[in-house]
Amino acid sequence: MTTVTWTLEVAQDQCMGSGMCAGLAPDLFRLEGEWAEPVREELAPDERALDAADSCPALAIIVRDGHRTVGPRP
């Protein structure tokens, strides 16, 4: 059985620290100083990670399934 794992990344050079992601999914993202960061970099697929990536005003959140980018969604 194959386990699907997503990875989360916040591009610090794009993040504006709005806190939108931490507000939507505080167990996935936190504000650390002026920028957001993932609480953990790997997780099981979670729609809230995609919602946070879609809602980020700076489009700084990247969600990957292996080498394929799944968020933000087009």
Whether the pTM exceeds 0.85: the reply is yes
Residue % of the chain over a pLDDT of 70: 97
Neighbours of 34 (CB within 10 A): 9
Q: What is the pLDDT of residues 55-70, one digit of tens each?
A: 999 999 999 999 999 9
The CATH architecture one would assign to domain 6-71 is: 2-Layer Sandwich (3.30)
How is the chain split into domains, by residue range? 6-71
* Average pLDDT score, the chain: 95
Cβ–Cβ under 8 Å, residues 8 and 43: yes
